[in-house]
Amino acid sequence: MEVKVEGLDRLFKKLDKLGGSIEQSTQKALLKGGTVFESAAKENCPVDTGELRESIHTEAKDAQTVTVGTNCGHAVFVEYGTGPKGDPSVPHTTKKSWRYQDAEGSWHTSHGQPPQPFMRTAFAENKDKAVDAVKESIKEDVNHLK
């Protein structure tokens, strides 16, 4: 998912005239916006061992791009569900059932799990709050330069 903040071009011109660092200000602001999503995703994340929740992080890719996500392999299965109970728009939900062996060597059959969207919910419910955090951070930098 992507969130765009409109009007940044005008703001960049203002910052440039004031002598501020556009890249530094933008990145700081976007990181603040990203942490809004990160916090909400962690709040929405179902917890078994806590590994998934703790893996959610915000990262600056460059001055104008920040990502919020997880590198946890099973996150997609939690987010979209699995098997016939999962979201049919993703390929891993086409299987009707499957068998797997646990750490103790016992075999189990699974018929899927329903989606537990924590990332999509965080983005959908917090876009305005994240955009406000970005705007406020940039406003602080502009006011600091005056």
Same domain? For 139 and 92 the reply is: no
Any domain includes 2: no
Beta carbons of 94 and 82 less than 8 angstroms apart? no
The answer to whether position 91 is within a domain reads yes
Q: What is the CA radius of gyration of the chain?
A: 20
Residues 25 and 71 in one domain: yes
Q: Are residues 69 and 29 in the same domain?
A: yes
Shared-domain flag, residues 95 and 25 = no
Q: How many domains does the chain fold into?
A: 2
Residue 27 within a domain: yes
Which of 5-9, 38-42, 111-115 shows the lowest mean pLDDT across its residues? 5-9
Give the integer Cα–Cα distance in Å for 141 and 132.
14
Residue pLDDT, tens place only, 76-126: 999 999 989 999 888 877 788 888 899 999 999 989 899 999 999 999 999
Q: Are residues 63 and 93 in the same domain?
A: no
| 120 and 138 belong to one structural domain | yes
Amino acid at 31: L
- CA pair distance 8, 12, nearest whole angstrom: 6
Domain of 71, in residue numbers: 8-75+116-145
**Sign of torsion, CA 76 44 119 115?**
positive
DSSP code string of 105-125: S-EEEE--B----SHHHHHHH
Taking the model in full, what pTM does it have? 0.78
Does 3 map to a domain?
A: no
